[in-house]
Amino acid sequence: MFSSGHFISYEATNVSACTAQYRTAVEVEGDLDENWYVFDFIALKRLTKTITDELTSDAAANAKQTHRGRRRPKNIQVRYRDREWRFPREDCVLLPIEHTTKPNYCPIYWEQSNGRTRARHRFHPRVRAWKLRKNVGQSATYEWRAS
DSSP state string for 70-132: EE-SSEEEEEETTEEEEEEGGGEEEESSSS-SHHHHHHHHHHHHHHHHHHHH----SEEEEEE
Q: What is the count of structural domains for the chain? A: 1
Q: Helices then strands (H, E): number in the chain?
A: 2, 11
pLDDT tens digit string along 6-38? 666 666 555 666 677 778 888 999 999 888 999
CATH code, 141? 3.30.479.10
Q: What distance in Å separates the CA atoms of residue 89 and residue 73, rounded to the nearest whole number?
A: 8
Q: What distance in Å separates the CA atoms of residue 60 and residue 108, rounded to the nearest whole number?
A: 13
93: domain range? Answer: 2-145
pLDDT at 68: 43
Beta strand pairing status for 75-80 and 69-71? antiparallel
| CB 38, CB 130: distance < 8 Å | no
This prediction has a pTM of: 0.72
pLDDT tens digit string along 44-86? 899 888 888 877 766 666 665 433 445 556 777 777 777 777 7
| CB 146, CB 124: distance < 8 Å | yes
